Amino acid sequence: MSSDFLLTSAGSSPSHLKQTIQQAAANAGFELCGIAPVGTFAETNHYSDWITAGYAGEMKYLEARNQEGALKRASLQLAVPWARSVIVCAINYNTQRPYSTQVDDPEGGWISRYAWGREDYHESVMRRLEQVEQRLQQELGQHQIRTRCYVDTGPVSERMYAKYAGVGWVGKNTCIINQKHGSWLFLGVILASLELEPDNPAADRCGTCTRCIQACPTDAFVGPYQLDANRCISYLTIEKRGEIDEHLRSGMGHHVFGCDICQDVCPWNRKAPFTPAEEFQPRQGLVNPALEWLAEMDESAFQRTFRRSPVRRAKHSGLRRNIAIAMGNSGNQAFTPILKTMSKDKRAEVCEAANWALTKLGCASNHSTSPKF
């Protein structure tokens, strides 16, 4: 999902070219657009330290290195040596629906806000980025420039460059936060071989607030601005394969895909605007979805239901494991028959989670341990 272009320049002034980029971004539907230089920032070393500390969990793709052994995402200069500027665009995906912290439904689960939409956000943001790229192609004449677009797919630390592009600051919950738009933002970047006029870095406005850290039910924050993915509900429900540590399950609550708690409680999201983008409007049934409905999906129904959704990343077995844990946390014994059926699932992690849930609900399971394969 990336593209290369050789563009030509007609001698546009830096300020005019910057205005052209920003207007193109606005026309494409982005609320925010900024430009950052390609350089070495303090966060470069922080990222390497984070990986070394093991806080990335099983996400080995974040540890990709170049031939010199340096982490690609930590050093864009080494990963993409021709890049001179990073254009960062952000689009709001917030919709007029309750936050997870406002919902207490013993029959429902929770899918993260970003996955409610009608298509995978990677596709939507990439399509809009390419509109900005095409506008640059029209603007630039004789002078050649190379560009490449990324939406979560390349060796780019989007949040770091978003900060230095003035789009927002990296909050204590490690999300990009904008003073006007809050943190419900998808980021996309365009790497450019031309040194464009940069914006000023965004100021940190978290102050003394620690609500996100205090609200996390699995204590995933080892400190302000420091997330241990191994304990993060989003990581556990999406990226983690196999069984989830028992001591973390109760804290997962009703979450079956992702988590929004650290954003739900952020004061900067109290007045966050709603997106006008149609593709981000919630699909029917995905806001506080019925756990029984989710549990009854077979593999083919899962693929149909989430055909253009990020939820597919959890895989059918992962979602069923998460559903079983959410049922156990619900306190709702009406789920007992479903959990007993799930305790016979062909996937060991689903069986184990179902048996754990039955025990938590005070019900006897059909199997004391997961089957051996």
Any idea which residues carry the catalytic annotation? 152
User: How far apart are alpha carbons 248 and 228 in whole angstroms?
Assistant: 13
HEC assignment per residue over the chain: CCCEEEEEECCCCHHHHHHHHHHHHHHCCCCEEEEEECCCCHHHHHHHHHHHCCCCCCCHHHHCECCCCCECCCCHHHHCCCCCEEEEEEEECCCCCCCHHHCCCCCECEECHHHCCCCCHHHHHHHHHHHHHHHHHHHCEECCEEEEEECCCCCCCHHHHHHHCCCCEECCCCCEEECCCECCEEEEEEEECCCCCCCCCCCCCCCCCCHHHHHCCCCCEEECCEECHHHCHHHHHHCCCCCCCHHHHHHHCCEEECCCHHHHCCHHHCCCCCCCCHHHCCCCCCCCCEHHHHHCCCHHHHHHHCCCCHHHHHHHHHHHHHHHHHHHHHCCHHHHHHHHHHCCCCCHHHHHHHHHHHHHCCCCCCCCCCCCC
Residue 367 in tokens: 């199997």
User: Nearest Cα to 43, choosing from 304, 225, 205?
Assistant: 225
Structure tokens at 52: 């070394």
